[in-house]
C-alpha cells in the first residue's frame, strides 16, 4: 500500500468515467433515463449481481471460476420461496437464502477442490445438475405471488434505508478486510498466480480455494433472498444469464480472468456499468434480447484488449499460469 492510489488504479478510473459517460449519453437518448426513480431502479437492480460478482471476484482471483452461480441462486431462491409459502417468519426465510447458498458453496467447492477437476469443467457439470434440481423442485410450475413479508422487511430496512445498502456495504468491507488484513488475501493471490508455487511455500491451497467457493456460495444465497424479496416469484429460467453477467462485470473491473489479481471496487463499477448500459439501451428502445449480446461483447472486448496488451494469452491459459501478469493488486 505504498501507493495510496493502489486500490483505485487506472482501470477503476476508466470504469468510473465510462459510467458517467453512459449516464450522459442515455440522458440525451431517452427522456426517461435521468431521474431519481430510474437511477434508483438501476441501483436496486444491481444488488444481486453485486453480491454474486463480489463472490466471483474471489473465485477468479484464486484461479477458479463458477459458471453455476445462476442456478445455485435459483435453488436458494426456491428454499426461500417455499419457506415463505409455508408461513415462516420473513426474517427466517430471508436467512435461509445465505444458509442454502453456503451449503451449495461447500458442495461446489468440494467437487472442484477434492475432485481435482478444473473449476470451469466441474461447475459446468454442476450447472446441469443444479438446473435439473430446479426443474425437480418446481415441478414445471413457477413459484409466484409469494407472501409480501420479506419484500416489506427488505424494503423498509433500517430507519428507512433499504436493507440492500448496509448489506452490500458490509459485504464489501468484510471482503476488503479479508483480502487486505488477513493471510487469506496473499494466499488467494499466490494461488491465483501459481498453485504449484503457493503449495511449495506452504500455503494451504485446498483450504483457501474451498473458502473462496463457500464465501461465493453464501453471497449467491444472499442474492437469492433479495431476488425473492424483489420479484416475489421464482421462475423456471431463474439465473440464466447471471454467471455470464457476473464474470463479465468482474473481468471488466480489472480482476484477472486467470487469477492472481483482484479488484473489489472494480467489480462494483463493472456491475454498475453493465446495469446502466442495460437500462439505458432498454429505455432507448433497444429490445431486451440485446442485453445479453451487449454483456457478451463487453466481456470479449475486455479480454481482447488484455490479450493485445499481453496480459493474457491462450498459451498462458494452457500452461496453467506462468505468473507473468501485471502485478498490481487493487481492492
Partner 1 sequence: MTRPLIEARDISKRFGALQALADVDLDIREGEVLALVGDNGAGKSTLVKILSGAHAPSGGDLVMDGKPVEFASPQDSAAAGIATIFQELALSENLSIAENVFLGRELTQRVLGIPFLRHKAMKRRVGELLKELDAHISDPEVPVGSLSGGQRQAVAISRALNLNARLVIMDEPTAALAVAETRKVLQLIRNLADSGRAVILVSHNMHDVFEVGDRIAVFRRGRKIADKMRTETTPEEIVSFITGAHPDVRALEMQS
Interface residues with partner 1 (CB under 8 A) are 1-2, 181-183, 185-187, 189-190, 192-194, 197-198, 200-203, 260-261, 323-329
| 161 three-state secondary structure | strand
Contact 261, 61 (CB under 8 A): yes
Q: Which of left, alpha, beta for 258 (phi over 0: left; psi -120 to 50: alpha)?
A: alpha
Confirm if 181 and 60 have CB atoms less than 8 A apart. no
Cβ neighbourhood burial of 322 (10 Å; 0-12, 13-18, 19+)? exposed
Rounded least distance, CB 29 to partner 1, Å: 41
Of 215 and 329, nearer to partner 1 (C-beta) is: 329
- The β-bridge partners of 56 are none
Q: CA-to-CA distance for 150 and 84, rounded, in angstroms? A: 8
Among residues 1 and 318, whose Cβ is nearest to partner 1? Answer: 1
Least Å from the CB of residue 115 to partner 1 = 24
Name which of 203 and 272 has its Cβ closer to partner 1. 203
For the bound state, the minimum distance from the C-beta of residue 183 to partner 1, rounded and expressed in Å, comes to 4
Paired with 158 in beta bridges are 161
Nearer to partner 1, 19 or 330 (CB): 330
* Structural contact between residues 49 and 221, judged by C-beta atoms closer than 8 angstroms: no
Minimum Å distance from CB 68 to partner 1?
Answer: 27
Query: Which grid coordinates belong to 106?
Result: 461447500
Q: Is 183 helix (H, G, I), strand (E, B) or coil?
A: coil
- The CA distance from 314 to 317, in Å, is 5
Which among 296, 325, 276, 305 is positioned nearest to 29, based on CA atoms?
Answer: 276
Closest CB to partner 1 among 10 and 197?
197
Closer to partner 1 by Cβ: residue 68 or 194: 194
User: Cβ 40 to partner 1, closest distance in Å?
Assistant: 34
Which residues, in sequence order, are bridge partners of residue 161? 158
Q: Nearest distance from residue 327's CB to partner 1, in Å?
A: 4
**Residue among 123 and 194 whose Cβ is closer to partner 1:** 194
Closest distance to partner 1 from the beta carbon of 319 (Å): 13
For 170, how many CA atoms within 13 A lie in the half-sphere containing its CB? Answer: 7
Amino acid at each position: 500500500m505504498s501507493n495510496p492510489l493502489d486500490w483505485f488504479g487506472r482501470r477503476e478510473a476508466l470504469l468510473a468515467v465510462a459510467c458517467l459517460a453512459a449516464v450522459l449519453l442515455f440522458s440525451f437518448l431517452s427522456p426517461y433515463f435521468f431521474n431519481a426513480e430510474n437511477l434508483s431502479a438501476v441501483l436496486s437492480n444491481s444488488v444481486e449481481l453485486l453480491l454474486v460478482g463480489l463472490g466471483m471476484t474471489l473465485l477468479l482471483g484464486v484461479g477458479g471460476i463458477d459458471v453455476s452461480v445462476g442456478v445455485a441462486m435459483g435453488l436458494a431462491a426456491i428454499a426461500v420461496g417455499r419457506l415463505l409459502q409455508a408461513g415462516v417468519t420473513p426474517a427466517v426465510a430471508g436467512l435461509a437464502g445465505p444458509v442454502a447458498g453456503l451449503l451449495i458453496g461447500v458442495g461446489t467447492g468440494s467437487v472442484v477442490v477434492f475432485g481435482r477437476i478444473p473449476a470451469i469443467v466441474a461447475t459446468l457439470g454442476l450447472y446441469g445438475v443444479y438446473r435439473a434440481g430446479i426443474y425437480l423442485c418446481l415441478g414445471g410450475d413457477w413459484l409466484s405471488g409469494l407472501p409480501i413479508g420479506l419484500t416489506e422487511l427488505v424494503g423498509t430496512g433500517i430507519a428507512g434505508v433499504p436493507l440492500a445498502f448496509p448489506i452490500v456495504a458490509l459485504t464489501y468491507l468484510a471482503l476488503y478486510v479479508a483480502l487486505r488484513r488477513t493471510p487469506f488475501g496473499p494466499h488467494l493471490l499466490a494461488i491465483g498466480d501459481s498453485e504449484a508455487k503457493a503449495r511449495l511455500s506452504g500455503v494451504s491451497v485446498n483450504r483457501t480455494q474451498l473458502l473462496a467457493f463457500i464465501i461465493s456460495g453464501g453471497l449467491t444465497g444472499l442474492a437469492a433472498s433479495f431476488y425473492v424479496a424483489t420479484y416475489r416469484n421464482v421462475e423456471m429460467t431463474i439465473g440464466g444469464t447471471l454467471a455470464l453477467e457476473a464474470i463479465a462485470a468482474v473481468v471488466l473491473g480489472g480482476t484477472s480472468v486467470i487469477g492472481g489479481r483482484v479488484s473489489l471496487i472494480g467489480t462494483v463499477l463493472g456491475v454498475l456499468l453493465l446495469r446502466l448500459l442495460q437500462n439505458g439501451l432498454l429505455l432507448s428502445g433497444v429490445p431486451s434480447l440485446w442485453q445479453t449480446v451487449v454483456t457478451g461483447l463487453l466481456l470479449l472486448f475486455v479480454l481482447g484488449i488484455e490479450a493485445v496488451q499481453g496480459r493474457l494469452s491462450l498459451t498462458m491459459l494452457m500452461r496453467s499460469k506462468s505468473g507473468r501478469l501485471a502485478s498490481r493488486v487493487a481492492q
